[in-house]
Protein backbone atom coordinates (compact mmCIF):
# COMPACT_ATOMS: atom_id res chain seq x y z
CA UNK A 1 0.00 0.00 0.00
CA UNK A 2 2.75 2.41 0.98
CA UNK A 3 4.74 1.58 -2.17
CA UNK A 4 1.69 2.43 -4.32
CA UNK A 5 1.41 5.87 -2.69
CA UNK A 6 5.10 6.53 -3.30
CA UNK A 7 4.76 5.56 -6.98
CA UNK A 8 1.67 7.74 -7.40
CA UNK A 9 3.36 10.72 -5.79
CA UNK A 10 6.46 10.23 -7.95
CA UNK A 11 4.32 10.02 -11.08
CA UNK A 12 2.41 13.16 -10.17
CA UNK A 13 5.53 15.13 -9.35
CA UNK A 14 7.29 14.04 -12.56
CA UNK A 15 4.34 15.14 -14.71
CA UNK A 16 4.00 18.49 -13.00
CA UNK A 17 6.28 21.33 -13.95
CA UNK A 18 5.46 24.53 -12.07
CA UNK A 19 6.87 26.57 -14.95
CA UNK A 20 4.11 25.16 -17.18
CA UNK A 21 1.37 26.21 -14.76
CA UNK A 22 1.43 29.98 -14.88
CA UNK A 23 -1.83 30.45 -13.02
CA UNK A 24 -2.14 27.72 -10.40
CA UNK A 25 -4.03 30.22 -8.31
CA UNK A 26 -5.88 33.24 -9.65
CA UNK A 27 -7.77 35.24 -7.06
CA UNK A 28 -11.54 35.20 -7.12
CA UNK A 29 -12.72 37.27 -10.04
CA UNK A 30 -9.09 37.64 -11.14
CA UNK A 31 -8.90 38.47 -14.81
CA UNK A 32 -5.85 37.44 -16.81
CA UNK A 33 -4.16 38.88 -19.87
CA UNK A 34 -1.50 37.62 -22.24
CA UNK A 35 0.65 40.32 -23.86
CA UNK A 36 2.53 39.13 -26.96
CA UNK A 37 4.70 42.11 -27.89
CA UNK A 38 8.37 41.99 -28.88
CA UNK A 39 9.22 45.65 -28.21
CA UNK A 40 9.90 46.00 -24.45
CA UNK A 41 8.76 49.64 -24.30
CA UNK A 42 5.44 48.90 -26.03
CA UNK A 43 4.98 45.72 -23.97
CA UNK A 44 5.42 47.76 -20.79
CA UNK A 45 2.84 50.35 -21.88
CA UNK A 46 0.31 47.64 -22.73
CA UNK A 47 1.00 45.74 -19.50
CA UNK A 48 0.69 48.87 -17.37
CA UNK A 49 -2.63 49.73 -19.02
CA UNK A 50 -3.95 46.24 -18.34
CA UNK A 51 -2.66 46.24 -14.75
CA UNK A 52 -4.61 49.48 -14.20
CA UNK A 53 -7.69 47.51 -15.30
CA UNK A 54 -6.82 44.84 -12.67
CA UNK A 55 -5.54 42.14 -15.01
CA UNK A 56 -2.83 39.70 -14.02
CA UNK A 57 -0.31 39.82 -16.86
CA UNK A 58 1.77 37.18 -18.61
CA UNK A 59 4.29 38.52 -21.12
CA UNK A 60 6.02 35.78 -23.09
CA UNK A 61 9.03 36.74 -25.19
CA UNK A 62 8.63 34.01 -27.81
CA UNK A 63 5.76 32.29 -29.59
CA UNK A 64 6.53 28.94 -27.98
CA UNK A 65 6.07 30.45 -24.50
CA UNK A 66 2.77 32.10 -25.52
CA UNK A 67 1.38 28.87 -26.96
CA UNK A 68 2.42 26.97 -23.85
CA UNK A 69 0.66 29.54 -21.64
CA UNK A 70 -2.55 29.32 -23.71
CA UNK A 71 -2.47 25.53 -23.55
CA UNK A 72 -2.95 25.68 -19.77
CA UNK A 73 -5.09 28.78 -19.39
CA UNK A 74 -7.94 30.55 -21.16
CA UNK A 75 -6.96 34.21 -20.89
CA UNK A 76 -9.62 36.87 -20.61
CA UNK A 77 -7.63 39.20 -22.87
CA UNK A 78 -4.89 38.48 -25.38
CA UNK A 79 -3.01 41.42 -26.89
CA UNK A 80 -0.78 40.33 -29.75
CA UNK A 81 1.34 42.34 -32.14
CA UNK A 82 0.92 41.06 -35.66
CA UNK A 83 4.74 40.94 -35.90
CA UNK A 84 5.25 39.11 -32.59
CA UNK A 85 8.21 36.75 -33.06
CA UNK A 86 7.85 36.91 -36.87
CA UNK A 87 8.53 39.22 -39.80
CA UNK A 88 5.44 38.11 -41.71
CA UNK A 89 2.10 39.09 -40.12
CA UNK A 90 0.34 36.30 -42.04
CA UNK A 91 2.64 33.73 -40.36
CA UNK A 92 1.95 34.82 -36.78
CA UNK A 93 1.62 31.49 -34.96
CA UNK A 94 -0.21 32.96 -31.96
CA UNK A 95 -2.94 34.36 -34.21
CA UNK A 96 -3.08 31.10 -36.17
CA UNK A 97 -3.49 29.14 -32.93
CA UNK A 98 -6.35 31.38 -31.79
CA UNK A 99 -7.99 31.24 -35.19
CA UNK A 100 -7.97 27.43 -35.15
CA UNK A 101 -9.53 27.03 -31.69
CA UNK A 102 -13.03 25.62 -31.60
CA UNK A 103 -15.57 28.42 -31.48
CA UNK A 104 -16.75 27.73 -27.92
CA UNK A 105 -13.22 28.16 -26.57
CA UNK A 106 -12.30 31.03 -28.90
CA UNK A 107 -15.26 33.15 -27.77
CA UNK A 108 -13.88 33.08 -24.23
CA UNK A 109 -10.76 35.00 -25.36
CA UNK A 110 -10.93 38.71 -26.18
CA UNK A 111 -8.17 39.25 -28.73
CA UNK A 112 -6.69 42.66 -29.54
CA UNK A 113 -4.31 42.95 -32.49
CA UNK A 114 -1.56 45.58 -32.35
CA UNK A 115 -0.75 46.77 -35.87
CA UNK A 116 1.06 49.53 -37.70
CA UNK A 117 -1.05 49.24 -40.85
CA UNK A 118 -4.64 49.04 -39.53
CA UNK A 119 -6.56 51.85 -37.85
CA UNK A 120 -7.56 51.58 -34.19
CA UNK A 121 -11.06 50.09 -33.80
CA UNK A 122 -11.18 49.14 -37.52
CA UNK A 123 -13.96 46.52 -37.39
CA UNK A 124 -13.41 45.22 -40.92
CA UNK A 125 -9.70 44.67 -40.27
CA UNK A 126 -10.57 42.95 -36.98
CA UNK A 127 -13.04 40.69 -38.76
CA UNK A 128 -10.51 39.96 -41.52
CA UNK A 129 -7.80 39.01 -39.00
CA UNK A 130 -10.23 37.03 -36.77
CA UNK A 131 -9.68 39.24 -33.73
CA UNK A 132 -12.06 41.29 -31.60
CA UNK A 133 -10.25 44.60 -31.80
CA UNK A 134 -7.42 46.41 -33.60
CA UNK A 135 -5.10 48.86 -31.86
CA UNK A 136 -2.82 50.92 -34.05
CA UNK A 137 0.69 51.31 -32.66
CA UNK A 138 0.22 55.11 -32.67
CA UNK A 139 -2.67 54.68 -30.18
CA UNK A 140 -0.73 52.49 -27.76
CA UNK A 141 -0.87 55.16 -25.02
CA UNK A 142 -4.66 54.72 -24.94
CA UNK A 143 -4.61 50.91 -24.78
CA UNK A 144 -6.52 50.75 -21.50
CA UNK A 145 -9.38 52.93 -22.73
CA UNK A 146 -9.53 51.15 -26.09
CA UNK A 147 -9.63 47.67 -24.55
CA UNK A 148 -12.18 48.74 -21.94
CA UNK A 149 -14.45 50.09 -24.69
CA UNK A 150 -13.89 47.02 -26.87
CA UNK A 151 -14.72 44.66 -24.00
CA UNK A 152 -17.92 46.57 -23.25
CA UNK A 153 -19.00 46.42 -26.91
CA UNK A 154 -18.11 42.71 -27.10
CA UNK A 155 -20.09 41.95 -23.93
CA UNK A 156 -23.13 43.83 -25.24
CA UNK A 157 -22.87 42.11 -28.65
CA UNK A 158 -22.64 38.57 -27.22
CA UNK A 159 -24.94 39.08 -24.22
CA UNK A 160 -27.95 37.24 -25.67
CA UNK A 161 -25.74 34.49 -27.10
CA UNK A 162 -24.06 33.88 -23.71
CA UNK A 163 -27.40 34.01 -21.91
CA UNK A 164 -28.84 31.41 -24.29
CA UNK A 165 -25.83 29.13 -23.78
CA UNK A 166 -26.32 29.36 -20.00
CA UNK A 167 -30.00 28.49 -20.30
CA UNK A 168 -29.06 25.47 -22.40
CA UNK A 169 -26.43 24.46 -19.85
CA UNK A 170 -23.56 24.86 -22.33
CA UNK A 171 -21.80 27.88 -20.85
Residue 123 lies inside a defined structural domain of this protein: yes
Coil, strand or helix: which one is 143? Answer: helix
CA 37/CA 21 separation, integer angstroms: 21
Residue 82 lies inside a defined structural domain of this protein: yes
DSSP 81-124: ETTTT-S-GGG-HHHHHHHTS-HHHHTT-EEEEEESSSPTT-HH
pLDDT digits over 95-140, tens only?
999 999 988 788 889 999 999 999 999 999 999 999 999 999 999 9
Residue 21 lies inside a defined structural domain of this protein: no
Residue 23 lies inside a defined structural domain of this protein: no
Residue 5 lies inside a defined structural domain of this protein: no
Predicted confidence at residue 136, as pLDDT, reads: 98
Residue 19 lies inside a defined structural domain of this protein: no
Residue 43 lies inside a defined structural domain of this protein: yes
pTM for the whole structure? 0.80
Q: Which residue has the higher pLDDT, 65 or 15?
A: 65
User: Of 124, 116, 127, 44, which Cα lies nearest the Cα of 81?
Assistant: 116
Q: What CATH number corresponds to the domain at position 59?
A: 3.40.50.2300
34: containing domain: 29-167
Coil, strand or helix: which one is 145? Answer: helix
Residue 18 lies inside a defined structural domain of this protein: no
The domain total for the chain is: 1
What confidence category does residue 12 fall into, taking pLDDT thresholds of 50, 70 and 90? very low
pLDDT digits over 75-92, tens only?
999 999 999 999 999 999
Amino acid sequence: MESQEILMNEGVSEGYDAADRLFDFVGEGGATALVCESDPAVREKISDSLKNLDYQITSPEKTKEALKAMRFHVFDVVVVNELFDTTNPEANEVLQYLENLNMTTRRRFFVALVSEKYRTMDNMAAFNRSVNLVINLKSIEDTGKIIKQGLAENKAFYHIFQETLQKMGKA
